[in-house]
Amino acid sequence: MRRFLLVVAVIVVGVLGVVTAATAAGRGGSATPSLLASAAKVSYEPAAQATGVSPTSPVSVKVTDGTLQQVTLLGAAGKPVAGALDAGRTTWTSTGPLAYDAQYTWSGTAVGPDGVAVPLQGGFHTVKPTRQVRGVINIGDGRTVGIAAPIEIQFNAHVEDRAAVERALSITTSKQVEGSWGWLPDENGGSRVHYRPKAYWPANTKVSVEADLFGVAYGGGQFGAANVSSAFTIGRAQIVKADATSFRMVVVRDGKQVADYPASYGLAADPDRNTRSGIHVVTEKFTDKRMTSQQYGYDVMEKWAVRMSNNGEFIHANPASAGAQGSSNVTHGCVNLSIENAKAYYDTALYGDPVEVTGTPVQLSAKDGDVWDWTLSWDQWQKLSAL
């Protein structure tokens, strides 16, 4: 009897072993493969529910152990952001711009080896600036300018983080040029930065300026409002040699003298009337320019006026000083020429042409106007860079 029970027990154990093996085969076999396959894993950049995101930050969604089936990033007013999938359909990256102070939401699906669709969800919010600051480049597209022309970007508010802004600026030239950005004192309601080459620009150089300012944090919660750019040309190399002791004004173009005019400069006996020595830069010209001075009691209209400094210095026609032109200096700081000679020079002058004044006892300085870039040595100029 005991031998019979033992046999029965062995048979029962054998049956249980068969059942267990069959169950294991059902779980791991080909009949239900999804039970061992992995699900898609999704990650986001920026992270889900992030706030204060820069609109220029990288934006992507990535799946591991799977592929993206459909991706949509919706922004303001439900408008989708442009983007593209990579070849393996594992990463979607935005190609369209984002906006400030906007909510962005993900939708779509990713599918892993288990065949189960995982929804894309969540989103992020971009930063809300306290103010969007605009920058304007002084030289417009397509212009031709002189070899001393500074490139200026004028901002309509104070820039605190100047290094961040400077890193967003780039200059490309068709000829090799060594130059540097320099921050000058705030003017016209905001900050300003100039780019100046070490020496004059090479003649006939093509220059491109890219200021990728949108999304740049200026400090104090302020951000760049928009990118700005310009592409222009440096013209012929024209330099005015203005030696006050010679009572002449010489024009040199591409290394050759093309004009030599009798001139009268500022009265040396009065420091307030001295023409300032140093490298001036032509910034404007007028067929007719009203000139006034309460200090010296004149109010006159002069012809063919070319501004070479913002302190009131011009090269212009003045029949009243005709008797002194070529023999003595009697002006209030301007360079006086005859009507004929002033017109001839006026017709050749470009924004950015240098006027090199020498032979006077007072030097051009920062207090003499907004373009005093060339009064500084190269070492001094480089120290104005925030980088």
pLDDT, tens digit (0-9, with 9 covering 90-100), for 162-197: 999 999 999 999 999 999 999 999 998 999 999 999
Q: Is the pLDDT of residue 146 over 70?
A: yes
Residue 77 burial (C-beta neighbours within 10 Å; 0-12, 13-18, 19+): exposed
Q: pLDDT tens for residues 348-379?
A: 999 999 999 999 999 999 999 889 999 999 99
Whether the pLDDT of residue 76 is over 80: the answer is no
Least confident of 15-19, 87-91, 378-382: 15-19
Task: Establish whether 332 is a catalytic residue.
Answer: no
Q: At a CB cut-off of 8 Å and minimum separation 6, what does 52 contact?
A: 125, 126, 127
Q: Are strands 131-133 and 217-219 parallel, antiparallel or unpaired?
A: unpaired
358 Cβ neighbours under 8 A, 6+ residues apart: 241, 242, 243, 244, 245, 277
CA proximity to 278, closest of 227, 354, 341, 214: 354
Catalytic residue among 194, 280, 316, 332: 316
> How does pLDDT run across 306-350, given as a tens digit for each residue?
999 999 999 999 999 999 999 999 999 999 999 999 999 999 999
Peptide bond into 271 cis (omega under 30): no
Dist CA 81 CA 249 (whole Å): 61
Residues 152-156 have a mean pLDDT of 98
The first and second tokens of residue 139, run together, are: 């030289």
- Least Cα distance to 276 among 376, 358, 364, 335 occurs for 364
User: Would the pLDDT of 148 be above 50?
Assistant: yes
pLDDT for the residue 36? 65
Question: Which of 194, 280, 332, 334 is the catalytic position?
Answer: 334
| Signed CA dihedral, 314, 320, 323, 328: sign only | negative
> Average pLDDT in the 208-235 region?
98
Q: What is the pLDDT of residue 19?
A: 39
CA–CA gap between residue 118 and residue 125 (Å, rounded)? 23
Residues 237-243 have a mean pLDDT of: 98
pLDDT tens, residue by residue, 273-294: 999 999 999 999 999 999 999 9
**DSSP 8-state class, residue 165:** H
Beta partners for residue 184, in sequence order: 192
Q: By C-alpha distance, which of 241, 215, 244, 264 is closest to 362?
A: 244
CA atoms within 13 A on the CB side of 347: 6
Please state, in angstroms and as integers, the Cα–Cα distance from residue 323 to each residue in 55, 289, 309, 319, 327, following that order: 65, 22, 25, 8, 8
The b-or-e profile of 258-283 (16+ CB within 10 A means b, else e) is: eeebbbbbbbbeeeebbbbbbbbbbb
Predicted pLDDT of residue 35: 56
pLDDT band, very low/low/confident/very high, at 9 (cuts 50, 70, 90):
very low
Active site annotation includes 334: yes
